[in-house]
Structure 1
Amino acid sequence: MQWKKKLFDVLTVQELYAILKARVDVFVVEQNCPYGEIDNYDQVSTHLYLENDGEIIAYARLLPRNVKYKEASIGRVLVNQTYRKNGYAKELLERSIAVILEEWKEPAIKIQGQEYLRQFYGSFGFKEISDIYLEDDIPHVDMLLRT
């Protein structure tokens, strides 16, 4: 298994396909939520993922500030269903936060997290900054991490 961090323009066709398949498998199929997965943010994002023989184990999309929010952002956070409960989500978030705070030198990270993951994100220092709201019929909450 190998962690990779790539800009959109250097992803191979196979890597991009595997990423999009993993995202659709989790967010559309598993969560039974038909929505527009392809949203034109991928092209300006950094893609951080754990890959094993072409299969995506864990993935997050890191968006620079002033793209979706005024702050940098972490989105599309997932762990392949087969590999859950092995600490990959924690490692993925730690790596994502490190890229944004340490490499990009950003002072804050905003996320739009699913409501049931509030405590998980809170364990990294994210604070709720919105009420719970529905996004694609799934309860979400906006959260912010400041350094």
Structure 2
Amino acid sequence: MRIKQILAKDCYSLRESVLRPGQPKENWTFKEDDDKKTLHLGMEHDGEIIAIVSLLPEEKDGSKYRLRGMAVHEEFRGQGIGQQLLVALLEKTGESVWCTARKQVQGFYSKNSFEVFGDEFTMNDMPHVFMQKV
């Protein structure tokens, strides 16, 4: 397995199947996907992308970048792949990063030094929180 920089289009399959199953394309593509400052990373295993994350230039509460679209293929969860991908992404930025996290994965981000800021909210019928790397 190895982490590599990928194109936005390489993220689409996992974004749709893991994060927004059955939803229209506009719900799993981002307007910043093709921005020169956007970074997409993927974990490759046997020639297939099994995990993804994107880093977008979007400021909020002092953070310059937004983490979006993090997903790990169901067969590979629980093996530390998400954490490896997150560490690789954060090493590339050297900056403070924020994200919107589903409430059900808040613990993952907390274990990786993210803290909640702001109030809980609902997005796509699921509870979310804003989190920031501290």
Relative to the length of structure 1, the TM-score reads 0.77
Q: What residue number does 1:95 align with? A: 88
Bigger strand fraction: 2
- Letter of the aligned partner of 1:43 in structure 2? D
1:36 paired to 2:27: yes
- Fraction of identical pairs, as percent: 26
1:39 positional shift: 2.5
Conserved? CA contact 1:33–1:136, under 8 Å: no
What is the aligned counterpart of 1:56 among 43, 49, 54? 49
Task: Give the structure with the higher percent helix.
Answer: 1
For this pair of structures, how many residues does the alignment match?
Answer: 130
Question: How far is the alpha carbon of 1:37 from its aligned partner?
Answer: 1.3
Distance 2:11 2:116 in 1: 28
Gap regions ≥5 residues in structure 1? none
Query: Matched residues in 2 for 1:86 and 1:125: separation?
Result: 19
- Kindly state the Cα deviation for residue 46 of structure 1 after the two structures are TM-superposed: 0.7
- Residue 120 of structure 1 deviates from its aligned partner by 1.3
**Cα pair 1:27 1:33 within 8 Å, conserved:** no
Q: TM-score, normalised by structure 2?
A: 0.84
Check if 1:84 corresponds to 2:108.
no
RMSD (Å) for aligned C-alpha atoms = 2.2
Once the two structures are superposed, what CA deviation does each residue of 1:28-60 show, in whole Å capped at 9, x if it has no partner?
A: 22xx65662123121121111112344221110
Label 1:84 to 1:131 Cα distance change in 2 as closer, same or farther (>3 A): same
